Amino acid sequence: MSKELVDLVQNLGAPRVLVVGDVMMDRYVWGDAERISQEAPVILLRADRREERLGGASSVATMLRALGAKVMLAGIVGNDHDGGRIRQMLTDLCIDHEAVITDLARPSTVKERYVGRAQHRHPQQMIRVDYEDRRPISETICEQITTVAQHLMKTTDIVLISDYDKGVCTPALLSALISAARARGIKVIADPIRGHDYRRYHGCSAITPNRLEAGLASNRVLNDMNEVWLAAQDLQEKLDLDAAIITLDKDGMALKHRDGRAKHFRTRPRHVYDITGAGDMVMSVLGLALASGADYELAIQLANIAGGLEVEKIGVATVTREEILCDLLQPGHTAAPSSNKVLALEPLVQELDYRRRLGQRIVFTNGCFDVLHAGHVQYLQEARAQGDLLVVGLNSDASVRALKGMSRPVQALAARSLVLASLQAVDFVTVFEEATPMQVIQTIRPDVLVKGSDYSKDEVVGSQFVESYGGRCHLATLHQGHSTTNLIDRMRAA
């Protein structure tokens, strides 16, 4: 976990973002694909649900709102029912659509997807039907968008261009807006179309083409990192960019900056469910982070994570700051490697501070855990169930000898720490030298203190202290027939 990334997420604030591009609606028709039609050899979908989401540039706006940004959207809709629905959805999300102009000459852009479930199981997209007019917007519409967008720039922190090649992002419109933004010192980030001619993005701060798009724009095949760097440098120089950022699907993202930086940001493996919307999510988080003052490198790392979360969802879905934080704090939603779970007290306190900001409850217990047995495992599982994460205070070797005698511990500290940290129920292990864990308890201030039921609450070290600030003491079930001392004696006798 990167503390810098956690700090960035927690300090994103609410920047004002102007999104310019192709406003769309994504409509989903869900149902069960039960049989083949008797009329033709086609799958028959028995529809049972209909859903509407904002797509294209308005998807970027939606994602930014879910992430806490103040969003203004510029584009067009048609003078039709779908245009009215789009405006109402924008209003409901508190997205400023003053710069969304009604174009009487074209319909609103709608992508209608039919999603079928086979035998009531995982849904799969069967077909997509598009309603659109891809002609460039007229000069009059261009001037209207430009006028309102330039007015909105007076209070804008960053401009994002979401170009889906539906006619809005003409060279004339982008040239006017990029010039206006540069004059005000505002960054402009563009997610470009697939094509060979990228001159319309000249003067942007950065662009974020994917592997195929960057290859077409630079006349290269990006099948290795050498070709990626050559394409990125070509785009950065020809378009006068601060940075060319190429998204590389499962291979992460590549940054080529005008100051000479060239860095590959890998991403960890994900269970990819649907890649729809991943590019929009990358653009949203990248823009939000840059608007909040982050450097390109940190912003890209955060966008990488958010894009990974997006592909684990079906369709174009939003991701919240809380989801990103949880992913940062619990990579893969599995136990962290055991080497990362054994912490000294000071870094542990910092880690727990981040967890508390997420509203997580901290559980603490302690012991020698010399020879781990089934009773220990059951005890730790019960302790973990009392909150959101479990910290185990582990007696040092000297502390164990003081308590148990010179023949103990049987296992040295390194081995005991490794075994404990390998348990799924244990989130963190910290070592203490004293006879009791009182200092650790006073430092980390757990929400729940756990000890075995062979103690009374009055006998539990730290119980009164924990209860003094509203915490509680839990006495875990004592499982009969398990004893470290008896186990060691039996092993020696054998």
Cβ burial 125-154 (10 Å sphere, 16+ → b, else e): eeeeeebbeeeebeeebbebbbebbbebbe
Residue 237 identity: E
3-state secondary structure of 315: coil
Residue 427: active-site member: no
3-state helix, strand and coil shares in percent for the chain, rounded to the nearest 5 = 40, 25, 35
CA–CA distance, 392 with 378 (Å, rounded to integer): 14
State the CB neighbour count (10 A cutoff) for residue 442. 11
State the CB neighbour count (10 A cutoff) for residue 266. 11
State the CB neighbour count (10 A cutoff) for residue 275. 11
CA–CA distance, 428 with 382 (Å, rounded to integer): 16
Q: Tell which residue, 159, 161, 225, has the closest CA to residue 193.
A: 161
Residues 6+ apart with CB under 8 A from 253: 245, 246, 247, 264, 265, 267, 282, 300, 303, 304
3-state secondary structure of 494: coil
Across 253-356, where does the E strand assignment appear?
Answer: 253-257, 262-265
CA–CA distance, 57 with 280 (Å, rounded to integer): 8
Beta pairing class for 109-117 and 123-131? antiparallel
Q: What one-character-per-residue DSSP string does 210-235 give?
A: BHHHHHHHHT---SSHHHHHHHHHHH
Residues 6+ apart with CB under 8 A from 156: 16, 17, 18, 72, 181, 184, 186
**205 with 291: CB under 8 angstroms?**
no
Q: Tell which residue, 196, 204, 191, has the closest CA to residue 220.
A: 196
Which residue matches tokens 């028709």?
Answer: 29
Beginning with the edge strand found earlier in the chain, give each strand of the sheet holding 123-131 in spatial order: 43-56, 23-36, 109-117, 123-131
From 26, 82, 280, 327, the catalytic residue = 280
State the CB neighbour count (10 A cutoff) for residue 349. 15
Residues acting as catalytic residues = 280
